[in-house]
Amino acid sequence: MDTFRLTNNPSIGCMIAQYIAETSLIEISLSGIFAEALDDNGVLTQAIFHRFQRLSQRIEVVENIISNLDDRHHLKKAIDKNIIQKLKNVIELRNKFAHGVYMIDKKGSVYLCMGAVSERKFKRININIEFLVEELNEVIVLNNVLSGLGLQRRALKMQR
């Protein structure tokens, strides 16, 4: 297997780039969830929430806050465990895409490899257009749900 550059297959490279770009909207929504849950004008969000560098940490903070909200709070109803799990899954795959090593076999199949590639002790995920379309659709649907709650708009207002 040879090392693969995403420029070798522009279709796959573009779809992975789009997936990573879509996760940026999720990051914005997480700020909006934090601010909305605390009824914050942006001061606490900037002072506390943005101190967490990793998206997985931010999701964990949001999950903890939502679990402690009053049951009548609209976020408690809108951001359920299923949404939180989808957020975790999306970010996990985003991190694999962003930090992974890509390999191509003699047939032209592209693989995302995790683990000790130099020692050939790695897990391979076959990356094809169908897989990417399915995963990209998942992140777009998730973004649409979060956008429908007005969370991205709230987060962007705080940045002004």
Per-residue pLDDT of 99-146, as tens digits, reads 877 777 777 777 787 665 555 666 777 788 888 999 999 999 999 999
pLDDT given for residue 120 in this prediction: 61
Is residue 1 predicted with pLDDT exceeding 70? no
pLDDT given for residue 160 in this prediction: 60
29-38, 54-63, 95-104, range with the lowest pLDDT: 95-104
Are 127 and 108 in contact by the 8 Å Cβ rule? The answer is no
Are 28 and 45 in contact by the 8 Å Cβ rule? The answer is no
C-alpha Rg value of the chain to the nearest Å: 18
72, 78, 77: which is closest to 145 by C-alpha? 78
Considering only residues 88 and 105, tell me which one the structure prediction assigns the higher pLDDT: 88
